[in-house]
Structure 1
């Protein structure tokens, strides 16, 4: 039996971890995901999505589930490994003061799990003050140093100066990590669940590089479509080849106006479209692009132009 992929979601109290998890659980990604949290009572799931409750487990109508860690993390992992059917992906939301390094070591040591990466959520409004705090600063530095992906939340309400300083700080603390602007906690599921570079090392806990470093990370912005629209094949093909500034990836599963469904994928200048089995839910598309050049509104306008009403 193949190991279950694991993604850790970390970040200090109030950073927006629970909002990110809520969107992931409510998403129509088509995967059987289990999310392990400290207390799912904090996750404001739509009541229509909850199929049933059983003790410390919520079963959701989209095939996902949410379990609480309770007093014993190892016991919670054991319960998940005994589920039938097994989850296709496990997401662990750590506590606000947890060190992802230590939780990640547990996942690496379990043969039935395979660690995909660590996502750290950063609050653009309060991170600077928290980092300067003598008590909190070390915790935040340890969290950021472990990240393969940093999600920046509340950028829409952060002062311009604070956001600029945050970008510089993240480039210094985690120069290799990808960075994604995630206003309102909306993140394409693919960005959370795909493999990330693992940084579970403590030989250089604060991303130091002997007096110098290079910022190889990049800041991204996401776009998501879910709906009953039907795509015109020729128009979709044209969009997959169109020059869209800053676009990093575009992928999805959509019905076509000439019948049937297709899956499509664009990465850089390469694109592909092929027939696909219809899913249970609506059509879906996600895109990720460089934050300083990619305009989600521009892509939305181009996307609307290829759709016909179902």
Structure 2
């Protein structure tokens, strides 16, 4: 069966966050911002009975419930079927909102929307992670999924700020920034976020502005690390090394993103991971970094700089060795 090609790609907004963080409240705010458009929602709960679907306000045209499993693993085939049914509907939506289970690792979902057959119809526009300011620091220590949710986010909503000490908020914000220096962080109460957060034009990513300043002094096992390479990088060597690293160290490496200058192109490229998959694509927007200065940011648990440096040096050494053949 051939699927119809929509006039424009359906924008996808993925909401993650551990149990009780306030995802559904944030979702209602996002639906309010898009109330004049056609919206579809996918609700995923880790249980046989859906509760959150009754809490979602009716600013949507369809709601799909995926229960008794996690959308990122046991329900991945069902998610594909839901996406296909959306494309076969008479009226195509403008937006698709996915509220993932509180125990979901978003990497698999992000990877699905990066596949060509899905990316032809859907554009993953933003990954929003909602966290409970009162417990997130403890959860980061105890629950791996919380760390992966933070690492995958474009926007981190630090919710329930009124329930913690005002003096603790800057410390907590810095801690979260140290985990994911790539994300925008918004501190709020009751899940209230600006309605224009979905319509604001994203600025081109500039690695120079995402240097994790707290890396050296953060005692937390979760951290981000920046590396710079002042020579051209071989595309295949980089792809192979990163793919191998994330396959072997998936329990430790949560995310990677970088701006790189490749030996086979005069244009800078963005390299980033989605789950265990690595993607390289040309950078859109203005580039302020000097040629050919590449920057790579790794996010993970208990990362060791020397170990990551060896991986990068191995990539550079391999390409030099091949160039001599």
TM-score scaled by length of structure 1: 0.54
Give the conservation status (yes or no) of the 8 Å contact 2:43–2:52: no
Q: Report the Cα distance in structure 1 between the residues aligned to 2:52 and 2:160, rounded to whole angstroms.
A: 19
Q: Which residue does 1:68 correspond to in 2?
A: 65
Give the conservation status (yes or no) of the 8 Å contact 2:43–2:53: no
- How many angstroms does 1:195 deviate by? 6.5
Q: Report the Cα distance in structure 1 between the residues aligned to 2:94 and 2:200, rounded to whole angstroms.
A: 12
Match of 1:18 among 24, 39, 53: 24
Q: Which residue does 1:143 correspond to in 2?
A: 149
Give the conservation status (yes or no) of the 8 Å contact 1:117–1:198: no
Q: Which residue does 1:9 correspond to in 2?
A: 15
- 1:1-310 to 2 correspondences below 5 Å: 1=6, 2-26=8-32, 29-39=35-45, 41-45=51-55, 60=58, 62-70=59-67, 71=75, 72-109=78-115, 110=118, 111-133=120-142, 136=143, 138-192=144-198, 207-210=224-227
What runs of 5+ residues in structure 1 fail to find an aligned partner?
50-59, 200-204, 212-310
- How many angstroms does 1:161 deviate by? 4.2
SS of match in other structure, 2:161? coil
Give the conservation status (yes or no) of the 8 Å contact 2:173–2:185: no
Q: Report the Cα distance in structure 2 between the residues aligned to 1:104 and 1:207, rounded to whole angstroms.
A: 20
Q: Structure 1 pair 196/14, CA: closer, same or farther in 2 (3 Å)?
A: farther
Q: Report the Cα distance in structure 2 between the residues aligned to 1:206 and 1:83, rounded to whole angstroms.
A: 43
Which region of structure 1 is more displaced relative to structure 2, 122-131 or 186-195?
186-195
- How many angstroms does 1:150 deviate by? 0.7
Q: Report the Cα distance in structure 1 between the residues aligned to 2:150 and 2:160, rounded to whole angstroms.
A: 17
**C-alpha distance after superposition, 1:235-254 (max 9, x if no partner):** xxxxxxxxxxxxxxxxxxxx
**C-alpha distance after superposition, 1:206-257 (max 9, x if no partner):** 532149xxxxxxxxxxxxxxxxxxxxxxxxxxxxxxxxxxxxxxxxxxxxxx
User: How many residues of Structure 1 are paired with residues of Structure 2 in the alignment?
Assistant: 190
CA RMSD of aligned residues (A): 2.8
**C-alpha distance after superposition, 1:9-36 (max 9, x if no partner):** 1111111111111333355641111111
Q: Report the Cα distance in structure 2 between the residues aligned to 1:74 and 1:163, rounded to whole angstroms.
A: 40
- How many angstroms does 1:169 deviate by? 0.7
Q: Structure 1 pair 193/147, CA: closer, same or farther in 2 (3 Å)?
A: farther
SS of match in other structure, 1:207? strand
Q: Report the Cα distance in structure 2 between the residues aligned to 1:83 and 1:14, rounded to whole angstroms.
A: 33
As a proportion of its length, which structure holds more strand? Answer: 1
Give the conservation status (yes or no) of the 8 Å contact 1:32–1:89: yes
SS of match in other structure, 1:183? coil
Q: Structure 1 pair 145/28, CA: closer, same or farther in 2 (3 Å)?
A: closer
SS of match in other structure, 2:41? strand
Give the conservation status (yes or no) of the 8 Å contact 1:150–1:180: yes
TM-score scaled by length of structure 2: 0.52
Q: Report the Cα distance in structure 2 between the residues aligned to 1:198 and 1:81, rounded to whole angstroms.
A: 30
Q: Report the Cα distance in structure 2 between the residues aligned to 1:197 and 1:147, rounded to whole angstroms.
A: 16
Which region of structure 1 is more displaced relative to structure 2, 36-45 or 110-119?
36-45
SS of match in other structure, 1:180? strand
Give the conservation status (yes or no) of the 8 Å contact 1:8–1:91: yes
